[in-house]
Structure 1
Amino acid sequence: MLSFFALSINICSSSTSHKTLNEYKIKILRYTTLFAKVYTKKVTNHMILMKRTTLAILINASLFSAVAGTSFASLAKQQEETDNKSKQLEVIQITARKRVENAQEVPIAVTALQGDALNAYNSAGMDIRFMNAKIPSLSIESSFGRAFPRFYIRGLGNSDFDLNASQPVSLVIDDVVQENAILKGFPVFDVARVEVLRGPQGTLFGRNTPAGLVKFDTVKPSQEFEGYASVSYGSRGAIDMEGAVGGALSDNISTRVSLLWQDKDPYIDNRAPGLEAKDQLGGYTEQAARIQFLYEGNDFTGLLNYHTRDLDGTPIVFRANAIKAGSNDLVDGYEHDVMFQDGAARASIEGQSQGASLKLEWEFESYTVTSISAWESAEILAHGDVDGGYGASFLPDFMGPGFIPFSSETADGIPDQDQLTQELRLLSNFDDALNYQVGVFYFDEKLTIENFSYDSLSSPAGQLNGYAIQHQDTTAWAVFGAVDYTLTDALKVTAGLRYSDDEKDFSADREISPFGAPPLRIQRSVSDNHVSWDLSATYKVNGNVNWYSRVANSFRAPSLQGRIVFGDEVTVADTETVTSFETGIKSDVLNGQGRVNVSIFYYTMDDQQLTAVGGNDNSNRLLNADKTIGYGFEVDSEWVLTDELNATFNISYNNTELDDSSLAVAVCAQCTVTNPTTLVDGQTFALLDGNSLPHAPEWISNATLRYSKALGEGNFFAYGDISYRSEINLFLYESIEFEGKALLESGLRAGYLWAQGDKEYEVSAFVRNLFDEQQAIGAVDFNNNTALVNEERYVGAEFKVRFF
């Protein structure tokens, strides 16, 4: 390149040449064109992902300025501006308010997860729980493993393990609400972006959003042919394969097919005496697929989405007396690949789901009309040894590990679930100060749940000794609207309103009781309506700083609980309502190389729906707390440190407190309760006034660091992250054993990325839970100090190819 530059200068400056200046220019142009072709080909084949060096940029600027008469200084200045812009953070576009907007200009505390961070967190065949503690104020846990995630935002969630449990955090995938918790466990693959909206979202998204919303947007079809395929192999023989391909079928129709296959060998040995088995639990096979068709006309688009999932595996392992008495430590000698169960041979989890949606959108001169019709269906059966051990106290020569008061082996299933939703909305696209959207929404769900109990100690073992079936029909509808008005160039206000009507018809039938109780049938119906609202304002302090304030109200409709295999009661929780106040600053700093968003919030919740899980038996009981108070702050930041180094840091503080002097629940069988207690009919109850909510850590923090360096004909990269959540109460009451320890987990992903022809290749190695931090993240309290423990360290490698 340097010799070519010297040649061009020599040709131009030679005083002995007999050619005209125009001929010189023509010759230079030919050389330049030839060089450009060679250089472009080389870049295409070998250096697509590398930045052009400053020297190369200056040389090319010289060549073209000589031909075109442009000054070198002018081009250098333009390049400097380009370089500065390349160092800036990208603008994040979100659809949190059902229109495409800059995340920095939306009066909502929202975090978007995409790109490298999403890829790194989702390594190792993780399910949706990979998001736990990765976003301010968000935590996720499950006592079913991959199938039944429970979300918590700003301390608000639901620890209920019943398949009919409602949650105050809503999950929306491709504009369709996933109501049942089984639907929320759909695998994460070929996803473009995740948005987490903190605080009530009752105006635009409606029922069951008093805590917030998690929104997934998958990659959509396009006219461009492109796709990817990846395969990874990791600890315990885990294999993760996924891929997608899409492109044009015609000038107006495009498609995209996305596939996922995950498999992990069983690796947990059973050492219960007389029941020894190697590699009995811990494995799974999961398959999922999504196919989409997109039609694009002049002013009309239609998107058809079909998706399906199949899970066949074993549930999360219950570990009897794994928590050391008088502490919250795991017992000495704990081994993650060892358990002691008399029901392990029958433990399994099988689930299938499928769904389809049709999104139609008409673009008019000043309006957009959108219709979203969707159907979701799921089936599941999860069977587990809940006491987590073998034998029982009345068999002194066959019991362990530790003291097992009685054997508990159960299964819960959904043989049939169907959900239909329809949304229709009108969105204005005016160029003036006023814009609005209005819409209607309809929801219908038919749900059947089966509860089973088994005798682990029968002969033959595992005979059915309890059975009940529940049916619930839910219908809900709503009308909603929101108005945006620009008062001045700096001040914009938004107001929203939604009327919702909700009705549930429920029946529970117990046919077999493990205690010999007679058959029982209970029917209940509940209904309510509510007006949700919000009011917010955004003030542009300057071109880089926006200040917002928001007050919002939302609700969760009445809930029913009917696990009557072990009891005779169907409990009802009345409607809960929340009013939230928040304010915050969203700022771009350091000439666009940094982004810092800060929010402060305070909320009060009336009649919060709570679940007394366990306590005196393997059942759940719904109740309402008079008032719950929460407050805290969130900091979310991104930084471009150098051309090669990017970082993020976030931290949140959440304080939650129950305010109800009469609220009490039954306590554990063997733990050390630290709450004040009282006797009710001879049974010990803990008084909950002043307690924080379960699974509500005060502190959540996450930091990431990404390094990228041009190396050879590609890029070396390394991505590290570390996340922290503080102590949590595993139940509504407080106890020494069931205070979950603070959890610190970290991960690392490093690899090499290069291009060849029309393909990009990536090879990487990764590790999750780098320091193998293991502790109780869930528990069973009605029998013994049974623990559910987080995943062990996972190490793997991945190969990925992208094609265009």
Structure 2
Amino acid sequence: MNTRFTAALLASASIVAFSALPQAAQAQMFEEIVVTAQKRDQSLSDVGVSVTAFSGESIERLGFTNSVDIVAQVPGLNVGTPVGEGNNPAFTLRGVGLNDFNDNSESPIAIYQDGVYVSALAGMTFQLFDVERVEVLRGPQGTLYGRNATGGLIHFISKKPTDEFEAYARATYGSYNQIKLEGAISGPLSDTVSGRLSFSSNNHDGYNENRIGRDGNEADSKAVRGLLDFKLADNHNLMLKGYYSKADTIAAQYQHVPSDGVSDIYGYSDTDGDTHAGAYDRAGALNIEAYGVSGTYEGTWGEVDVTNVLSYSKTDKFHQEDTDAGPVSGILPTFQANIRQISEELTFSGGNDKFNWVLGGFFFDTKVVGKLDLLVNWYAGFANAVDSDPTVFDGLLGAGTPSLGATADDVLLPAIGYDVDYTQDTQSISGYGQVEYNLDEKWKVTFGLRYTNEKRHIEYLNAMPAGYLLNDAFGGVLGMQSYMDFRTGANNNGTGIPGLDAGAVGNLNDNDFNNVSGKVGLDYAANDDLLLYVSVSRGFKSGGFNAGFLDATDGLTTANVPYDSEKLTSYEAGFKWNSTGGMFRVNGAAFYYDYKDFQALGFSGLSQFITNSDATYKGMELEVGATPAEGLSIQLGASYLDAQVDGVFIDGVYFPDVTPVLAPEFTANGLVHYEKPVTALKGIVGATVSFNHQGSHYFDITNSASSKQKAYTLVDARLSWMSENESVELAAFAKNIFGKDYNVYSFDFTGTAGFLQEMPGRPKWFGAELTLRY
């Protein structure tokens, strides 16, 4: 076993031992979190699956402000931001994830908000406010939830309307002139109707300095959520929800790192060592607007509980990127997407002390309309060289980086222009069920089954407009003038992908998948304090289409456009133990994943595409909590992962036995919280210190040295005072106290342009907040 993981286990055991000392006699009970991981209210300790949950109070105490922040305190959960903060996140859980940032893709980690699946990647980064709890379920999902997922599930659950009036408001001021406001008002509107209205806004200056323009990585976000709770009759309830959010900011900027340590093909080099500063000629915009409505009916008919969730949502995104990350207008992509989603989930459930069952059906329909534009400019001197010697272009295709830079002809001219338009439609219908049967007071067996039918259709066109150097100089022989047109089956210039002429498309633009998956589990309640469980489950995620910048000159053919579904078989064993009196608890799980057709993202030149390969994952997690004294609570978590992908073909090269991206071998997290009434201050003083350690990991499936992020540890702290009646709270906080530099993603453009893109994580951040409650 990894020595660092062993050390973490020993540290955890030390805390458990410490918590058993005599002074622990005054310990208070852990806050008991009720979760709905198995579609009914249960204590977290009674659920025979690997779950991490946060209450709303814990989220406030830890200073989580958006959906990505929870990664800091969930063992085995990681996230990367391939296109920057606030944009499409790449979640991985136990190493299972997908780092493709194309908007027609879906994550194998299913994200839910108030029972509604969120398919849009651009809609997965949202503000956390007025939250009741968050649940993170590890492993394949499908026998209890509407959307099938191979890696796990994260459910964000809002606070509901109350029968009595309540309200709160919170104002935060922090580094980079951050001003964050949030609040909620809730209460009865009539004898049968109650409502809750919540809002949040977050604004701060850019923390990535632009020496020649507007700073990047700024925030200008707002969100509002409304809930209406109708009591239709005894045991019949209807909850209506509407939400709207908008981010209108200057996007995150990459750090420019010359591959050869000197300069890129544009003659630029950023070597000052400041990871939060650069010179960017393009202050790229990031605009994401999301809104939706849903209705959730819950009722009891006889002895059967019925739940129906119907939803509609829309997410629109516009993003401009300065890919060359320098002062030259070199590589300039623009990403646009409009994503419409409709979902309907109907479940029936029932049971008693002996037997519990759930039966459900799920319908999902989404349409993604994407538009991607890419302009690549080169110096006129290089253009002249291309005209006289076409082989000069070979370097830019990966054979080597041409030494170009500024010349006497220091004029930028358009060289390559991609104009991608696509429309992707997805319809999925599924039926699922799960039964739990108590064999006796100690043993319980679980069976689950799911059938899924999923259809996808895409229309894709990548055209190169006239007037670009390579179109003019080469007559379109690079295959970019009209790479492919699934709408007509035509290849207009006749020199692109062989065989893709009229009538030759066949069913390449249609996918139709049928899958049967399920679960078998066995729980053993050894006593009132210890639960043991084992399970075998299978997850499924359908295949799809590569719809980014695809170029035949990068070696891609029509066969690379569709990719296959992935299937994961999980073998898991775990335990949950609470000490008598609740002074401490320990949860642990070990797993083995047999992964078929794992979906891996690769790059070839300027083309990005998903390919399939088999993989094997194995590992474990451990979570320990203790209350060794009244007012003092300690929590620790650790994960160990050994993940290996059999091999992938990238740019014609086979890379065997690679590690998946965003899959560190070891992670650790923890917090210490202490609070105590102080009579002299007429209130309760609290302090929280937390940490998150990420082991080394890769950002590229080829495991290149340049894509490796070294291990790092982030430390946060919060100090608070709350009035005796809990109506007023003052707090000061610090995040990344020691100013650790680290990357949340990187791309290697060595072969095409002679530099690396590195996306830095947040710098140290300080602030204060005031909360008023009624």
TM-score between the two structures when normalised by the length of structure 1: 0.80
Could you say if the C-alpha distance between residues 695 and 451 of structure 1 is closer, same or farther in structure 2, counting changes exceeding 3 Å? same
Cα-to-partner distance string for 1:176-197 (whole Å, 9 max, x where unaligned): 0001211212222111111100
Deviates more, 1:209-218 or 1:586-595: 586-595
Q: Give the Cα–Cα distance (whole angstroms) in 2 for the partners of residues 746 and 220 of structure 1.
A: 32
1:632-711 counterparts in 2 under 5 A? 632-660=619-647, 663-666=648-651, 680=652, 685=653, 687-711=654-678
Q: How much is the aligned-residue C-alpha RMSD, in angstroms?
A: 2.3
Looking at structure 1, the residues matched to 722 and 87 of structure 2 have their Cα atoms a distance apart, in angstroms, of 34
1:220-247 CA-to-partner distances (Å, cap 9, x unmatched) read 1111111211010111111111001100
**Per-residue deviation at 1:133?**
3.7
Aligned residue identity for 1:449: G
Instruction: Give the drift of 1:207.
Output: 4.3
Matches within 5 A, 1:193-592: 193-205=133-145, 207-271=147-211, 276-277=212-213, 279-296=214-231, 297-321=233-257, 333-344=272-283, 347-391=284-328, 407-414=330-337, 416-428=338-350, 430-455=351-376, 465-513=417-465, 515-516=470-471, 517-519=480-482, 520-522=484-486, 524-564=509-549, 566-567=551-552, 569=557, 571-592=561-582
Q: Does 1:752 align with 2:721?
A: yes
2:175 and 2:140 map into 1 onto residues whose CA distance is: 40
Unaligned runs of 5+ in 1: 1-82, 393-406, 667-679
Which structure 2 segments of 5+ residues have no match? Answer: 1-23, 263-268, 380-410, 472-479, 488-508
Q: Which residue of 1 aligns with 2:101?
A: 161
- Rounded to whole Å, the distance in 2 between the matches of 1:425 and 1:556 is 21
Task: Give the match's secondary structure for 2:255.
Answer: coil
Q: Deviations over 1:19-73 (max 9, x none)?
A: xxxxxxxxxxxxxxxxxxxxxxxxxxxxxxxxxxxxxxxxxxxxxxxxxxxxxxx
The amino acid of 1:409's aligned partner reads L
Distance change (3 Å), C-alpha of 1:798 and 1:379: same
With over 3 angstroms needed to count, the CA separation of the structure-2 counterparts of 1:137 and 1:706, relative to structure 1, is same
Letter in 2 for 1:353: A
Q: Deviations over 1:111-168 (max 9, x none)?
A: 1012443113335xx4322122420110012123112111100001111121122221
Question: Is 2:112 the counterpart of 1:172?
Answer: yes
Shift of 1:372: 0.5
C-alpha displacement of 1:204 = 1.7
Following superposition of structure 1 onto structure 2, how do residues 43-58 of structure 1 map, counting pairs within 5 Å?
none
Q: 1:219: Cα distance to partner?
A: 0.4
Deviation at 1:755? 3.9
Offset of 1:460 from its aligned partner? 9.6
> What displacement does 1:348 show?
0.7
Which shifted more, 363-372 or 436-445?
363-372
Equivalence for 1:142:
81
* Match 1:98 to one of 4, 22, 39: 39
Find the counterpart in structure 1 of residue 748 from structure 2.
781
The one-letter code of the counterpart of 2:257 is N
The change in CA–CA distance for 1:720 and 1:431 in structure 2 (over 3 A counts) is: same
Distance 1:560-1:388 versus aligned 2 partners, 3 A rule: same
Query: 2:413, 2:62 → 1: CA distance?
Result: 41
Whole-Å separation in 1 of the counterparts to 2:135 and 2:581: 25
How far, CA to CA, are the matches of 2:550 and 2:518 in structure 1?
40
Shift of 1:99: 1.1
Contact 2:377 2:416 in 1 (8 A): no
Q: Distance between the aligned counterparts of 1:86 and 1:640, measured in 2? A: 6
CA distance in 2, matches of 1:363, 1:237: 51
**Residue aligned with 2:704, SS:** coil
Give the counterpart of 2:130 among 190, 194, 199.
190
Amino acid at match of 1:737: S
Amino acid in structure 2 at the alignment position of 1:518: Q
Distance 1:460 1:378, change over 3 A: farther
Distance 2:376 2:581 in 1: 67
Asked whether the 8 Å contact 1:706–1:720 carries over to 2, the reply is yes
Give the drift of 1:745. Answer: 0.4
Q: Secondary structure at the match of 1:737?
A: helix
Q: Secondary structure at the match of 1:641?
A: strand
Secondary structure of the 1:281 match is coil
Q: 2 CA distance for matches of 1:185 and 1:644?
A: 33
Q: Does 2:59 match 1:118?
A: yes
2:69 counterpart residue number: 130
Contact 1:549–1:583 (Cα < 8 Å) also in 2: yes
How far 1:590 moved relative to its partner? 5.0
Query: Does the C-alpha gap of structure 1 residues 322 and 787 become closer, same or farther in structure 2, counting only changes over 3 Å?
Result: farther
Structure-2 residue corresponding to 1:736: 705
In structure 2, the residue corresponding to 1:763 is in which secondary structure? strand
Question: For 1:735 and 1:150, how far apart are their aligned partners in 2?
Answer: 19
Letter in 2 for 1:622: I
Are 1:167 and 1:208, in contact at CA under 8 Å, matched by a contact in 2?
A: no
Q: What does 1:586-625 correspond to in 2, within 5 Å?
A: 586-612=576-602, 614-617=603-606, 619-625=607-613
After superposition, the C-alpha distances for 1:550-585 in whole angstroms (9 at most, x for unaligned) are 110011101111224645756221111110011111
* CA–CA distance in structure 1, aligned partners of residues 182 and 464 of structure 2: 44
- Aligned residue for 1:390, secondary structure, equals coil
Do the aligned partners of 2:540 and 2:568 also contact (CA within 8 Å) in 1? yes
Count of residue correspondences: 668
Helix, strand or coil at the partner of 1:167: coil
Which of 718, 729, 748 aligns to 1:762? It is 729
Q: Distance in 2 between matches of 1:576 and 1:150?
A: 17
Q: How far did 1:333 drift?
A: 3.7
Between the aligned residues of both structures, percent identity stands at 25
Per-residue CA shift, 1:459-508, capped at 9, x if unaligned? 89999943211100100000111111110011111111010000001011
Q: Distance in 1 between matches of 2:191 and 2:714?
A: 48
* Aligned: 1:718 with 2:687: yes
Partner of 1:72: none
